[in-house]
Amino acid sequence: MGLSPRVEFLLDVVECKLTQAQSDILPCAARYILVTGGGQAGKSRLAAIKWLQEFIPDIIRAKRAEYKFPLIYWLVAADYDRTDQEFNYIKADVERLGLLHRASKRVDPGFIEISGGPPSNPVIAIIRTKSGKDYRTLAKEAPMGILACEASQLDLEAYLRLVERTAPHRAWLFMTGTMESSIGWYPQLRQAWGIGLEDKKAFSLPSYSNHYLYPGGKTDPEILRLKAETPDDFFLERIEGIPCPPRGLVIPEFRADVHVNTDCIYKADEPVSVWYDPGYDHAAALYAVQHVKGQVNVFDEVYERGLTIDDVIDIAIAKPWWRDVRHGVIDVAGTYHAGQQTPVAEVWLQRTGLYMQSQKVGINEGTARFKSFLKIDPVSNQPRIIFSPVCRGVLSELGMGVNPIDKQTHVYRWDVDKDGNTIGKVPIDRWNDGIKAVVYGLIDRFGYVTTANRQEAKVTFYGRPKSSLSVR
């Protein structure tokens, strides 16, 4: 499928000549498109032309649906400055088309107003810049289309809010960016959408597709030099725009677009459970959970290092959902903590009246139960568990972003050899505090995957002895 005559005409007017790789992406009719590209591949120019391509069809669609004018579009990035390239390209294109009414980026947020209406109301569309750091800016309005600039630098919650904002007007979403690594929601979507879903498509735009910079393409001497002098993963990610799936992930089945949802929020007056893995030198991980229509909703999190038991309790009882807490689960190995003489569960009972259930949970058996809840239910077409994007600690352990404690990438993984084969019978016992808390809760409420797995496992999380407070 080539470019339409209308798009070719517009490209000629704005004096833009696309590379072949850009031209191959532009005709894609999917509603959600993600482009992972290498440096200087032309991602920003492609995004600007994408807006130009959709503008006239959007006007026609809006008139048929009787949407109010002016139409709204968003340019979104992790901060306002990172929208500069797309903004400048679109502004110049609109000027060449004789449709620029007014534009400014001297004070953020910036805007571009497009003329085309009657003299009494000439502005037919407005493009606004948005910052992903302030989620409040990603609300209220219902845009016709969204360009996400350097989308890999947005966090998961920002992406989910953009998806939410596409609903009112069935808006399109076009995301471009260079991968910083192959861990996180952005490269994960690149893999998931690359298989060709109905309304979601993903493409790679290699640096060497820009023949103006690299006349020899893939065999350009400079490209060959980079390939020889950089690690394979770096070259694939940063030059070719292809993610390298991390090796050894314990729970690779977890997907940002399936298991994380902004609708996963506290439902007042519905029972709440707290699932808790104590920690001091490592993260203390506590989750507030509700069961809604057969689905486990993990809607809030406490995930911090250096907190005493009393600190965690103070944070929990100050939450609006605390009044609905009816049940608690704690790591059986977390009997004593940070020099305290009183067992953790007993402290909870004394201070809150909440009795924390506990039992021994095998690592692999617990992981199997977690994975069973990630599967899509054939009746509801939904997974049995979803997470709020505010649960950044456990999401980081699952490969969905940086750890909120040290802002580094850490995932729960197996030890692997040089060929990527797993080593040992259990995963590395690090960066799994949130995962463990969720596992304890699932096992307490639903048991093991099979009856056979109910036998006590020889290996437990942290390998510590069973608590005297265990009720099972």
pLDDT of residue 472: 28
Residue 271 lies in a domain: yes
CB-CB contact of 380 with 294 (8 Å): yes
pLDDT of residue 183: 84
Q: Looking at the structure, tell me whether residues 142 and 284 fall in a common domain.
A: no
Domain with residue 223: its CATH number is: 3.40.50.300
pLDDT of residue 465: 34
Residue 246 lies in a domain: no
CB-CB contact of 306 with 280 (8 Å): yes
Q: Looking at the structure, tell me whether residues 151 and 272 fall in a common domain.
A: no
Residue 461, both tokens: 């999380």
Q: Looking at the structure, tell me whether residues 165 and 282 fall in a common domain.
A: no
Contacts of 446 (CB under 8 A, 6+ apart): 369
* Omega within 30 of 0 (cis) for the link into 143: no
Which of 240, 274, 301 is where one domain is finished? 240
Residue 468 lies in a domain: no
CA angle 339, 341, 345 (to 5 degrees): 100
Q: Distances in Å between the alpha carbon of 79 and those of 76, 165, 231?
A: 8, 18, 30
Residue 436, both tokens: 């463990």
Q: Looking at the structure, tell me whether residues 229 and 350 fall in a common domain.
A: no
**Strands 422-423 vs 295-305: parallel, antiparallel or unpaired:** unpaired
Q: Looking at the structure, tell me whether residues 235 and 269 fall in a common domain.
A: no
Predicted TM-score (pTM) of the model is 0.84
Residue 247 lies in a domain: no
pLDDT of residue 1: 65
pLDDT of residue 258: 93
Q: Looking at the structure, tell me whether residues 178 and 270 fall in a common domain.
A: no
Phi and psi, residue 91, nearest 5°? -60, -45
pLDDT of residue 195: 75
Residue 103 lies in a domain: yes
Q: Looking at the structure, tell me whether residues 224 and 75 fall in a common domain.
A: yes
Residue 469 lies in a domain: no
> Given its phi and psi angles, is residue 463 left (phi above 0), alpha (psi -120 to 50 degrees) or beta?
left
Domain count, the chain: 2
263: containing domain: 258-463
pLDDT of residue 211: 92
pLDDT of residue 201: 95
Which of 194, 213, 240 is where one domain is finished? 240
303-328 per-residue burial string, b: 16 or more CB within 10 A, e: under 16: bbeebbbeebbeebeebebbebbebb
Phi and psi, residue 244, nearest 5°? -110, 105
CA distance 159 to 153: 10
Residue 62 lies in a domain: yes
CA distance 261 to 259: 7
Q: Looking at the structure, tell me whether residues 338 and 430 fall in a common domain.
A: yes
Residues of the chain with pLDDT under 70: 1, 196, 334-340, 451-472
CB-CB contact of 152 with 184 (8 Å): yes
pLDDT of residue 113: 97
Domain with residue 439: its CATH number is: 3.30.420.280
Residue 302 lies in a domain: yes
pLDDT tens figures, 418-431:
877 889 999 999 99
Q: Looking at the structure, tell me whether residues 206 and 272 fall in a common domain.
A: no
**Strands 123-131 vs 71-77: parallel, antiparallel or unpaired:** parallel
CB-CB contact of 38 with 205 (8 Å): yes
Q: Looking at the structure, tell me whether residues 10 and 137 fall in a common domain.
A: yes
pLDDT of residue 337: 57
Q: Looking at the structure, tell me whether residues 304 and 157 fall in a common domain.
A: no
Q: Looking at the structure, tell me whether residues 234 and 368 fall in a common domain.
A: no
Q: What is the 3-state secondary structure (H, E, C) of the chain?
A: CCCCHHHHHHHHHCCCCCCHHHHHHCCCCCCEEEEEECCCCCHHHHHHHHHHHHHHHHHHHHHHHCCCCCEEEEEEECCHHHHHHHHHHHHHHHHHCCCEEEEECCCCCCEEEEECCCCCCCEEEEEEEEECCCHHHHCCCCCCEEEECCHHHCCHHHHHHHHHHCCCCCCEEEEEECCCCCCCHHHHHHHHHCCCCCCEEEEEECHHHCCCCCCCHHHCHHHHHHHHHCCHHHHHHHHHCCCCCCCCECCCCCCHHHHECCCCCCCCCCCEEEEEECCCCCEEEEEEEEEECCEEEEEEEEEEECCCHHHHHHHHHCCHHHHHEEEEEECCCCCCCCCCCCCHHHHHHHHHCCCEECCCCEHHHHHHHHHHHHCECCCCCCECEEECCCCHHHHHHCCCCCCCCCCCCCCCECEECCCCCEECCCCCCCCCHHHHHHHHHHHHHHCCCCHHHHCCCCCEHHHCCCCCCCCC
CB-CB contact of 113 with 123 (8 Å): yes
